[in-house]
Amino acid sequence: MRNSWAVLLGLGALLALSLVFGLAVGSAVDPGWEIIISIRLPRVVLGLLVGAALGTAGAMLQALLHNPLADPFVLGISGGAALGGVTALGVGGSIGIATLSIPLAAFVGALLATLLLYVVAGRAGAGPSHALLLTGVIFNAFASSLIILITSLLDSSGITSVFLWLIGSIRHVDVWMIGAVGVLLCLGLMAGIREAYALNLISQGEETALHLGVDVARTRRRVLLATAGMIGAAVAVAGLVGFVGLIAPHLIRLLSGPDHRSLIPASALLGGSLVLIADSLGRSVLAPTELPVGAFTAILGGPLFLFLLRRELRRLNP
């Protein structure tokens, strides 16, 4: 446990450095306090919350599905949230309620995608890893087709808005975004920490958890609702920022082990740092041109996912 506290303190320091880095870099050569406070600070805070939400959701899903490859982006949950958000953006825009309807629609889309994952791939991910991955790939393809269909019905300005949102970007920040993501992140973190012991047992198998007195069905409902809320909120305000939920929990396990009492808060800290660093690099490497944060996280997460998939297949087929 002492090692876990050391890791948490180290991640807290990394997050603080990431915050300073995010406030210091940008397209302005010599920014004044007004730019830092009114423009950079809200963006940095929102990026932190989005990364923390994705990291926390990834850690909880990997335990619930007892599958090391579980990730909101890979499993299609982010795709479901994106489909819900694009539907609200396309349909709601015509009646003037797009801004308010996107977060709720993204949450509903994430929840439905998660439920579909369970129905198709088996009870709580009890099937092999490739069944879950195949389900996610198929649903992502289905969601992408519907997104393209909806986008094709929009005008040029609507198409541009959808495209910028889908590639993963934290360009437009409002106070309500920070508040909404912050509330859902806090609720998700509380649910994850409260169910940490149960997740420790469920990650070893549902039968073991049941024999030790864990109410698996109740834990599953709570974790599903919490992760859907966090993923829906993150996608609603930042678009598709992939692989953060895969990278953060795996790096934390290497540092401090699989105990979810420390893994969940540590994944939140590391996820926040990863998105902060990616977003800061995206708006400074080719300034004044901004690169999407989702591109940087995909560059990091893609090779890691292939490595983990190869290792998992070797374990199943020695």
What pLDDT is attached to residue 316?
61
C-alpha to C-alpha distance for 272 and 234, rounded to whole angstroms: 12
Angle between helices 175-194 and 41-64 (to 10 degrees): 30
Local confidence band at 88 (pLDDT 50, 70, 90 cut-offs):
confident
Higher pLDDT, 307 or 276: 276
Is residue 125 over pLDDT 50? no
Mean pLDDT is highest, among 27-31, 96-100, 244-248, for: 244-248
C-alpha to C-alpha distance for 263 and 12, rounded to whole angstroms: 14
Q: Tell me the average pLDDT of the chain.
A: 82
Residue 276's Cα: distance from chain center in Å?
Answer: 13
What pLDDT is attached to residue 185?
94
Nearest to 117 by CA among 104, 141, 134, 100: 134
Percent of the chain with pLDDT over 90: 25
Is residue 59 over pLDDT 80? yes
Mean pLDDT within 142-171 = 80
Helices within 65-155 (DSSP H only):
77-87, 93, 98-121, 129-152
What pLDDT is attached to residue 263?
95
Q: For residue range 173-182, what is the model confidence (pLDDT) as tens digits?
A: 878 889 989 9
Mean pLDDT within 25-31 = 69
Is residue 298 over pLDDT 90? no
Local confidence band at 273 (pLDDT 50, 70, 90 cut-offs):
very high
Is residue 77 over pLDDT 80? yes
Higher pLDDT, 194 or 123: 194
Is residue 124 over pLDDT 50? no
C-alpha to C-alpha distance for 262 and 252, rounded to whole angstroms: 9
Q: Which domains does the chain have, with CATH numbers?
A: 52-316 (1.10.3470.10)
C-alpha to C-alpha distance for 98 and 83, rounded to whole angstroms: 14
Residues 6 or more apart whose CB falls under 8 angstroms from that of 65 comprise 124, 125, 132
Q: Is the Cβ–Cβ distance between 117 and 133 less than 8 Å?
A: no
C-alpha to C-alpha distance for 44 and 65, rounded to whole angstroms: 32
Which tokens in the block code for residue 97?
A: 């309620």
Local confidence band at 52 (pLDDT 50, 70, 90 cut-offs):
very high
Is residue 167 over pLDDT 80? no
Q: For residue range 248-264, what is the model confidence (pLDDT) as tens digits?
A: 998 898 888 889 999 99
